[in-house]
Structure 1
Amino acid sequence: MPLPPPDVARLFTLGSRFALDRNGASTIVELPVERLALPTGRVCVGDPFITSGAALATVAPGTYPVQVAVAEITLPEQPEPQRRHLRVAAARLRVAEHPAVAWEMALLEHQDPATLTEPDAYFGYAVDAGTSCFVDVDSLEPVLDHEDETGALIEAFEGEDGERVHVVHVAEPEDGHEIVAFSSGWGDGRYPTWIGRDADGAVVELVTEFLLALDDRLEVG
């Protein structure tokens, strides 16, 4: 049976607490928001440094908020860290104010959910740089043009105190291309994206999650 979608309302509520393996827990402690322009409305989700730029959904062109759910991780068997252990549990692109009434796993053209026969299986995008993003398909290449280890996107993640920022917004003022990027949960891996639709079938939000708020949705350990 494929992995079921998350409880999105709970996932994006401060104070929500989820069980982890190793008797740990994740608690939502921050919900920062950035705004993203989508000139064509074709939404790309993935690791900006390796993604091929395929659209997972199409919405009306416009500017929309991207909200990130930051979780504090507690692992009882480990000593108290000097700093809070914070990870991004999920990020969502909100297209409309009203909530979704139905959720579906985001798929590429060649992906068939009927082939997901293993328990809690899912289709997801690969992350190889500990980073994910929402970006317009036509903006991905211009924003990352000549991006290297000293590029604007990497620099944006470096906070003033040396601690990595959880979510950043990078724009190219000359042509209007921009990207909202965020840390990807535990780092590298493969992560699912969910499309929420209203009663008329219109896309109201996209949620990409990093499997830190599973509870009993997925057997972990």
Structure 2
Amino acid sequence: MEQAPGKGLVLVVEDERPIADLVRLYLSRDGFGVHTEHDGAAGLAAARRLRPVACVLDIALPGLDGTEVCRRLRADGDWTPVLFLTARDDEIDRVLGLELGADDYLTKPFSPRELVARVKAVLRRTAGPPDGDRVRELGPVQLDPARRRVTLSGAPLALTATEFDLLGHLLARPGRVFTREELLAAVWGYASVAGTRTVDVHVAQVRAKLGDAAALIRTVRGVGYTADA
């Protein structure tokens, strides 16, 4: 295990050792500490033991697959950012991963530089949105960017880093309609028409967690989304 206290430790769980070594090399070059595991059970144990700043999980792992590792972490109340890797470029797989609480998704073959950029982007989101620390309120929802805390009718609401920043971005400008491409660029840090389905899935996840307050996030057909009381 390599230590890099400045940027923190990233857990990489990948059964193909050449890929794991390549990911470790590029993350290490960028100043991250890296710990690698090669099966799901060991990866889950390492995540619980080491408390990394982020996890890079292959989906097709021996034993527990990556989606099950993510599901168990979320069931533990562990919202460490998760980025999935997979050899399958199927929308059903992508949607399943995001619904389980993953923050981002890369399909093999991938650019190691892009993976590092994605990890850094999700960590920036975890550190807080760039557009101010003021508390945002809309209906029964209160979002505190500085404390990374959301409450619904006074009760804490558990969100992933990406879900938090998506909701925070919408609440920062109530009534403003954002296109999917705008949300993808602002929250995920990249723009791609092919990636706009990711926005839809995350909006659906946030709405599910908001329950009776889900109508606060309104779909503007053919355009995108807005937060509106």
Q: Greater relative contact order: 1 or 2 (C-alpha under 8 angstroms, separation 6 or more)?
A: 1
Higher strand share: 1
Higher helix share: 2
- Which TM-score band (shorter chain)? under 0.3
- Report the TM-score, using the length of structure 1 for normalisation: 0.28
- Report the TM-score, using the length of structure 2 for normalisation: 0.27
